[in-house]
């Protein structure tokens, strides 16, 4: 009988340094090396550059790409190694950078690199590409690869199908342990590790699992059917990624097989994908709670990509601030008689506080999460300051204009003098503008400063930040209106 009826290989990313590679680097050292790489790149010293890069792990190479300009990134990519290394780097870096690098390649070269990628990473990457380029590249793939990748792209990205690797090792239950070991020994694929060998029946349905250790510690004539653990735990291809992560974690799995409706095995989800999901979901929760958008790729997204979610998520706080101020305004007759001069100033306080704390929350959470995920560091201080200043200026301007208009509503002003009809709304608008600017910039810088001082960035972004912002807003407002 043939040793295997159908064979998939399951080859997780290289997990060990190659002989001769150096020890891994911790973050500060990586940062130093990134500076060296940058210098060599600007001196066009490609020889020494290649020598340095050849010793580093693809995960470390990927790290360098984050802080460089697109032009430098392109040159760095060209010098970082052969197609296999390039593919490994693409699998490790942030998706938008990978898209940028591939889009800058000649399609024929690009396909050579992409052919070396894990198909799950490849599917994620292709989905982000420009439609034309995607079509062009897909056509250049071998037929079976094209089919596999297109199948993978059909799954919802947040399900088991979306995070699974469609290549895995599956052997028929009629194969013997000896045949399986022979197969492993003669396989030309350089698997780094194969932890589980899945067993399928003649209908290609998942029927059991064998560990590599079981395989080598039994008599070679034992069939996999005798050896295997039946009733293997699997997840359906449509299961939500969060639930997959929970199952992998609950049972302490290294990988879990993914099956379709008919129990045919279609892929595996490995523990490193699960770690990614857990981090993603935590980030998503933090950002949703603070209305900071969805993505952590802080330095990759363009201004408008970052602006939209932050702008729209201030709408609801704005609405409630407006409502609160209106409630007070409608009760205004109660608070004062005809001679109460400037009382309407006070009615604006809810909307002022709400707008400034909304933007503080956003930038604070962005920084805390960026720092926790190792994407934002003290070295980025100037860049963060510049970006948050631009963002807060824009948001402050828009919401300041709105507040200016809002404060013109007669119920707030009708008892004021004629000159105050413009002066008062102007002060309100200016307060919103400056307090949002302050809140956005301080919200971004404070966690970085805390981190630098070895304090906890997360506690900076909590009540300390909103407290500072609140007191600043009130002080500023009082200071401005004292000119009225």
Nearer to a second copy, 154 or 192 (CB): 192
Among 106, 132, 143, 337, binds a second copy (CB under 8 A): 337
Nearer to a second copy, 149 or 209 (CB): 209
Q: How far is the CB of 44 from a second copy (least distance, A)?
A: 29
Q: Which of residues 22-41 bind a second copy (CB under 8 A)?
A: 22-24, 26-27
User: What are the Cα distances from residue 460, in Å, to 293, 448, 449?
Assistant: 20, 9, 9
Kindly report the length of the chain. Answer: 484
Q: How far is the CB of 317 from a second copy (least distance, A)?
A: 5
Nearer to a second copy, 14 or 134 (CB): 14
Identify the CA nearest to 166 among candidates 179, 155, 180, 181: 155
Q: What are phi and psi of 257, to 5 degrees?
A: -75, 150
Q: Which of residues 189-208 bind a second copy (CB under 8 A)?
A: 191-195
DSSP string, 270-292: EHHHHHHHHHHHHHHHHHHHHT-
Tell me: does residue 312 bind a second copy (CB under 8 A).
no
Among 286, 403, 407, 445, binds a second copy (CB under 8 A): 286
Q: Which of residues 104-163 bind a second copy (CB under 8 A)?
A: none
Among 45, 71, 154, 275, binds a second copy (CB under 8 A): 275
Identify the CA nearest to 125 among candidates 159, 161, 152, 85: 152
Q: Is 273 within 8 Å of 281 (Cβ atoms)? A: no
SS3 (DSSP) at 266: strand
Q: Residue 251 corresponds to which tokens in the numbers above?
A: 């049972």
Tell me: does residue 464 bind a second copy (CB under 8 A).
yes
Q: How far is the CB of 182 from a second copy (least distance, A)?
A: 10
Nearer to a second copy, 123 or 458 (CB): 458
Binding residues for a second copy, how many (CB under 8 A)?
119
Q: Which of residues 348-387 bind a second copy (CB under 8 A)?
A: 349-350, 353-354, 358, 364-365, 368-369, 372, 374
**CA atoms within 13 A of residue 441's CA, in its CB half-sphere:** 17
Q: Residues 45-84: x/- map of binding to a second copy (CB under 8 A)?
A: ------------x-xx--x---------------------
Nearer to a second copy, 147 or 285 (CB): 285
Q: How far is the CB of 71 from a second copy (least distance, A)?
A: 26
Which span sits near a second copy by CB under 8 A: 11-19, 126-134, 148-156, 405-413? 11-19
In terms of C-beta distances under 8 Å and separation of at least 24 residues, what long-range contacts does 252-258 make, across chains too?
Answer: 254/195, 254/196, 255/10, 255/195, 255/196, 257/168, 257/198, 257/206, 257/209, 257/232, 258/160, 258/161, 258/164, 258/234
Q: Which of residues 388-447 bind a second copy (CB under 8 A)?
A: none
Which span sits near a second copy by CB under 8 A: 35-43, 137-145, 288-296, 405-413? 288-296
User: What are the Cα distances from residue 36, in Å, to 53, 204, 213, 285, 376?
Assistant: 11, 52, 44, 37, 19
Nearer to a second copy, 47 or 467 (CB): 467
Which span sits near a second copy by CB under 8 A: 104-112, 313-321, 407-415, 438-446? 313-321
Q: Which of residues 240-259 bind a second copy (CB under 8 A)?
A: 242-243, 246-247, 249-254
Neighbours of 399 (CB within 10 A): 27
Q: What are phi and psi of 145, to 5 degrees?
A: -65, -45
Which span sits near a second copy by CB under 8 A: 228-236, 376-384, 385-393, 417-425? 228-236
SS3 (DSSP) at 199: strand
Tell me: does residue 220 bind a second copy (CB under 8 A).
no
Tell me: does residue 16 bind a second copy (CB under 8 A).
yes
Q: Which of residues 441-460 bind a second copy (CB under 8 A)?
A: 456, 458-459
Q: Is 181 within 8 Å of 216 (Cβ atoms)? A: yes
- Per-residue DSSP letter, 168: -
Sign of the Cα pseudo-torsion (275, 280, 283, 288, in order): negative
**CA atoms within 13 A of residue 439's CA, in its CB half-sphere:** 32
Among 213, 262, 382, 410, binds a second copy (CB under 8 A): 213
Among 97, 153, 328, 448, binds a second copy (CB under 8 A): 328
Q: Is 266 within 8 Å of 162 (Cβ atoms)? A: no
Tell me: does residue 343 bind a second copy (CB under 8 A).
yes
């Amino acid at each position: 009988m043939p040793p295997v009826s159908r064979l998939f290989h399951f080859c997780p990313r290289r997990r060990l340094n190659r002989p001769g590679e150096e020890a891994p680097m911790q973050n500060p050292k990586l940062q130093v090396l990134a500076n060296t790489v940058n210098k060599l790149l600007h001196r066009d010293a490609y020889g020494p550059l290649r020598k340095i890069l050849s010793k580093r792990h693809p995960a470390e190479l990927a790290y360098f790409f984050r802080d460089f300009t697109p032009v430098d990134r392109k040159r760095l990519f060209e010098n970082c190694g052969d197609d296999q290394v390039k593919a490994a780097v693409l699998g490790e870096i942030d998706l938008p950078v990978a898209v940028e690098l591939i889009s800058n390649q000649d399609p024929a070269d690009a396909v050579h690199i992409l052919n070396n990628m894990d198909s799950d990473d490849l599917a994620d990457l292709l989905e982000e590409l420009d439609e034309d380029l995607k079509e062009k590249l897909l056509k250049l793939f071998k037929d079976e690869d094209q089919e596999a990748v297109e199948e993978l792209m059909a799954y919802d990205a947040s399900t088991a199908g979306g995070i699974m690797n469609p290549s895995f090792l599956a052997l028929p239950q009629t194969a013997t342990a000896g045949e399986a070991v022979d197969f492993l020994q003669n396989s030309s694929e350089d698997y780094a590790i194969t932890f589980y060998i899945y067993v399928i029946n003649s209908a290609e349905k998942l029927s059991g699992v064998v560990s590599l250790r079981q395989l080598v510690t039994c008599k070679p004539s034992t069939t996999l059917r005798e050896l295997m653990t039946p009733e293997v735990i699997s997840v359906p291809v449509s299961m939500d990624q969060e639930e997959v992560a929970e199952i992998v974690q609950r049972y302490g799995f290294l990988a879990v097989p993914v099956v379709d409706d008919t129990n045919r095995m279609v892929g595996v989800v490995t523990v490193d994908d699960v770690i990614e999901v857990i981090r993603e979901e935590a980030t998503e929760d933090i950002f949703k709670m603070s209305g900071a958008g969805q993505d952590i790729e802080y330095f990759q997204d363009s201004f408008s990509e970052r602006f939209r979610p932050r702008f729209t998520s201030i709408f609801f706080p704005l609405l409630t601030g407006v409502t609160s101020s209106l409630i007070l305004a409608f009760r205004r007759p109660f608070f004062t008689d005809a001679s109460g001069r400037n009382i309407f100033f006070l009615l604006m306080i809810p909307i002022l506080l709400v707008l400034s704390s909304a933007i503080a929350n956003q930038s604070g959470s962005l920084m805390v999460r960026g720092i926790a995920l190792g994407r934002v560091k003290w070295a980025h201080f100037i860049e963060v300051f510049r970006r948050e200043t631009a963002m807060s200026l824009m948001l402050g301007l828009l919401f300041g204009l709105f507040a200016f208009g809002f404060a013109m509503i007669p119920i707030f002003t009708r008892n004021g003098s004629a000159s105050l009809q413009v002066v008062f709304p102007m002060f309100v608008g200016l307060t919103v503008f400056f307090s949002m600017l302050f809140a956005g910039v301080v919200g971004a810088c404070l966690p970085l400063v805390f981190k630098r001082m070895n304090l906890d960035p997360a506690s900076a972004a909590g009540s300390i930040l909103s407290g500072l912002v609140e007191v600043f807003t009130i002080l500023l407002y009082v200071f401005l209106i004292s000119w009225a």
